[in-house]
Amino acid sequence: MATSPRKRVVIVGAGIVGVNSAMEVQRRYPNYDVTLIADKFNGDTLSDGAAGLLRPDTYIFGPSLEISQRWVNDSYSFYKNLLKNRDDPCGINEVSGYTFSTKNPDITKNHYMNNCSPDFREATDEELKAYSSAENQPKLNYGCFFTSIVIECKLFLPWALKKISNNGGTIINRKIESLEELCGEYDIIFNCTGFRAGKLCNDVNVLPIRGQVIRVKAPWVDKFYYRDSDTYIIPSISDGTVVLGGCRHFGSHNEQENKRNTEEILENCISVLPSLKKALKTDYKVWVGLRPYRNKIRVETEYINDTVIVHNYGHGGYGVTLAPGTVKYAVDLLTSVNK
């Protein structure tokens, strides 16, 4: 692949999908000229607010169940390999934890993680009792335990941008109003624009899922916890904070804090882990973002004039989880186009 003709490649978008795309193109096609264009970077991106636990939902989000599983496996392998290089830290840590349910065993099961996490298992009766014994804790009837990876985007994104730049990439701060304006200037365009892809591509299947989370200092929390889907506690090892969530409001464009959501998140998370009460005596930060949901994640190619467009968007709340996997798939598509 290193002998391929030199081409001009642009990645639009500097969130988790965009930066991974730039790094993968540079790795697979080191002779290509790679440019990353975005109007939001690092702390201004949606990715920066993500809790970052690699844990997909269980629906089929790709073209097939097999491809969806491949995306999860490839993402897990990508992040796992980065864990090995402790001399170049990028905000990635292994974390174990539990998914619990008070009402339905299917909520705790995850066939994707069962196929890639080395220690996925059902929670024992003793574990269920241990997390149901405190005052005001509901009885947990079902649970699973597994080890996964937390990606802290506040560290990973700037690390990735530096890596792209050090490998000869060009980074431009510019807002793109249409993909057509880049045609002619570049041979290949990677569309990693998340929610904005709905307008850029006139894609009515892109919808916002409003999410709200809370970040608070709690360095003693070293495991993740989920209960009945939308209550979760996810630790960030680097700074001792935890992310408390959450909510999923389909179709909502509201980017302001909802005080009632904040109260519900705090109440639910404390009922899972009562020790969080002391953490909430200090200041905490509320974050709200619109996740770019699509019924099927769009990873495919098309042509505008003679320019190849590689679309990669619509990950919903699972961009951090799936980005390396969908990026590998997208660059594979580029490889087939180049033949």
The answer on whether 51 is annotated among ligand-binding residues is yes
Query: Does 131 carry a binding-site annotation?
Result: no
CA–CA separation, 247 vs 40, rounded Å? Answer: 24
- Say whether 124 counts as a known binding-site residue: no
For the four alpha carbons of 248, 250, 256 and 260, in that order, the dihedral sign comes to: negative
Buried b (16+ CB within 10 A) or exposed e, 250-275: eebeeeeebeebbebbbebbbbbbee
Distances (CA, A) of 163 to 12, 64, 219, 272: 17, 33, 29, 39
Rg (CA), the chain: 20
**SS3 state at 233:** strand
The response to whether 331 counts as a known ligand-binding position is: no
Residue 262 marked ligand-binding: no
318 appears as a binding residue in the annotation: yes
Q: Is 194 annotated for ligand binding? A: no
Residues 6+ apart with CB under 8 A from 243: 51, 52, 213, 214, 215, 232, 233, 234, 235, 236
Is 231 annotated as belonging to a binding site?
no
**What are the φ/ψ torsions at residue 335 (nearest 5 degrees)?**
-60, -40
Q: How far is CA 313 from CA 97, 206, 221, in A?
A: 29, 9, 33
Report whether 99 belongs to an annotated binding site: no
Q: Do the annotations mark residue 218 as ligand-binding?
A: no
Extract the runs of DSSP E, i.e. beta strands, from the chain.
8-12, 33-38, 92-101, 121-122, 142-151, 170-173, 188-191, 207-217, 224-227, 231-236, 241-245, 249-250, 284-304, 307-315
Give the Cα separation of 317 and 305 in Å (integer): 33
The answer for residues whose C-beta is within 8 angstroms of residue 174's C-beta and 6 or more apart is: 37, 38, 39
Q: Is 314 annotated as a binding residue?
A: no
Instruction: Give binding residues for FAD as ranges.
Output: 51-53, 193, 316-321
Instruction: Give binding residues for D-dopa as ranges.
Output: 232, 291, 317
Instruction: Give binding residues as ranges.
Output: 51-53, 193, 232, 291, 316-321
